[in-house]
Amino acid sequence: METLRYSLRPDDCIAVAEYHAAHGRRHRWSFLFNAVIGSAAVGLVCVALGVTRRPVGWLAVGVAIVAWLLYLPWRLRAGNRRHARRVCAEAERNGRLGPQEMAADAEGFTLRTGRAEVRMRWPAVDRIVTTPEFTLLYVGGDNAFAIPRARVVEGDYDAFVERCRELHAAAGGGT
């Protein structure tokens, strides 16, 4: 049984949320939806205001749509960051952050915190994603257990993650 001890902090929680917002399928579709609907709304408002009665008006419509498409990603990132800060602050108040211990065996993994113990079997893990900063064990489209590389206080991060991948694959898991 491989064991890893680490500490999860609010800034780790926010980094994971930002990673997920940038790479999650649901968030990409949300961005596309907002971009199309917002662009259509900007165009309709310009038409309703009579901006398009002159040829230069269509240029104004194009400029307004481009401005919207440049503003939208910034606005979505700012909103996601604000939401992540609230969720992470609540997690910290409820004791879900702080010292953690994760153990992996042939059946699955166990996560222990000061307040709870969670046991997940490998078939429940959809995928394991590793970035330079952390590893995510996804147990659904949006839910993941995070292991921050920089916060490991006991154990070998790389060996633990590799062992998790091996055990996950042996149990019939994907990546």
Per mean pLDDT, which of 9-13, 56-60, 70-74, 163-167 is the most reliable? Answer: 163-167
Average pLDDT over every residue of 133-137: 93
Which pLDDT value is given to residue 107? 94
Average pLDDT over every residue of 135-164: 91
Q: Of 154, 132, 1, 142, whose CA–CA distance to 80 is shortest?
A: 142
* Structure-token match 């990603």, residue found: 73
Spatial contact of 89 and 10, defined as CB atoms under 8 Å apart: yes
- Residue-range domains of the chain with CATH: 2-10+95-170 (2.30.29.30), 13-93 (no CATH)
Between 29 and 117, residue with greater pLDDT? 117
Handedness of CA 47, 49, 54, 57 (dihedral sign): negative
Q: Tell me how far apart the terminal alpha carbons of the chain are, to the nearest angstrom.
A: 21
Count helices and strands (H / E) in the chain: 4, 8
Band (90; pLDDT cuts 50, 70, 90): confident
| Tens-digit pLDDT profile for residues 52-79 | 787 787 888 888 888 888 888 888 788 8
Handedness of CA 94, 95, 97, 100 (dihedral sign): negative
Band (5; pLDDT cuts 50, 70, 90): very high
Which pLDDT value is given to residue 110? 96
